[in-house]
Amino acid sequence: MELLYEGKAKKVYATDIKNVLRIEYKNSATAFNGVKKDVIEGKGILNNLFSSYFFDLLRKEGIESHFLQKISDTEQLVTQVTIIPLEVIVRNVAAGTLAKRIGVEEGHIMKFPVIELCYKRDDLGDPMLNDDHIIALDIATFDELKELKQKALRINEVLIAYFKNFNLDLIDFKIEFGKTADGEILLADEVSPDTCRLWDATTKQKFDKDVFRRDIAPLRETYQALADKLGIS
């Protein structure tokens, strides 16, 4: 079937089912907007495993997504959506670009979850936008933006509680949303350690893509250790 789109971590194919696409998780790992890259055998399998599991978990908590079914080690079927070109970032603890941008120490716990919205444009380095930009530039309407934020905070609550069971702190994450042909807004893209920060609550050991970005530990072994810890296989 026709390849419709190839991103840094996934390929998207058409299927012969109306409004259904096939996503293939790739073995490539990238960071810093593609400046650092590597091919890591087994990464596609692990991220398909995580993403399918988290989409299922979120659906059980009433959060609908584009995810339909895992169909092989590296592939899943999803509902076709038009991606809203926003990276919705939720931060519970200051880390990464926020810590760097404002000079606060990584690990500083914030009073409440902070939402950041970035324009999904690799060529521009995904610049941060405020609500006015998003509405005035027709990226999303006022009501859509409200819905995205509400959903993002609900997803944060569910995931924080889930990871707490395994003594893991959800530091931050990035999600994307898409619109179906009927105009429904669904969580889309992926939910995996590529798109979040997860620290052991006691030792602060990292179980996310920062191990690759910062050359801390091998990515595949780290993701496998996380899958084992969560009992996902």
Q: Which residues bind ligand 5GP (CB under 6 A)?
A: 87, 89, 95-98, 126, 172-174, 194-197, 209
Q: Which residue is nearest to ligand 5GP (CB)?
A: 96
Q: Are 92 and 109 in contact (CB under 8 A)?
A: yes
Q: Output 148 or 196, the one with its CB closest to ligand 5GP.
A: 196
Q: Output 122 or 184, the one with its CB closest to ligand 5GP.
A: 122
Q: Which token pair is 193?
A: 């350690």
* C-alpha neighbours within 13 Å on the C-beta side of residue 138: 0
Query: Which residues are bridge partners to 127 per DSSP?
Result: none
Residue among 34, 20, 152 at smallest CA distance from 80: 20
For residue 50, give every residue at least 6 positions away whose Cβ sits within 8 Å of its Cβ, in sequence order, or none: 191, 192, 193, 223, 226, 227, 232
Q: Output 43 or 174, the one with its CB closest to ligand 5GP.
A: 174
**Shortest distance, CB of residue 194 to ligand 5GP, whole angstroms?**
5
Q: Output 45 or 94, the one with its CB closest to ligand 5GP.
A: 94
Sign of the dihedral defined by the CA atoms of residues 144, 146, 152, 155, in that order: negative
**Which CA distances in Å does 172 have to 110, 114, 115, 195, 218?**
11, 9, 10, 9, 21
Q: Output 53 or 199, the one with its CB closest to ligand 5GP.
A: 199
**Shortest distance, CB of residue 199 to ligand 5GP, whole angstroms?**
11
Query: Which residues are bridge partners to 179 per DSSP?
Result: 82, 185
**Shortest distance, CB of residue 226 to ligand 5GP, whole angstroms?**
14
DSSP annotation of 75: E
**Shortest distance, CB of residue 119 to ligand 5GP, whole angstroms?**
11
**Shortest distance, CB of residue 90 to ligand 5GP, whole angstroms?**
8
**Shortest distance, CB of residue 183 to ligand 5GP, whole angstroms?**
26
Q: Output 76 or 195, the one with its CB closest to ligand 5GP.
A: 195
> Helices (DSSP H) in 64-209: which residue ranges?
96-102, 131-136, 142-164
Q: Output 1 or 35, the one with its CB closest to ligand 5GP.
A: 35
**Shortest distance, CB of residue 54 to ligand 5GP, whole angstroms?**
14
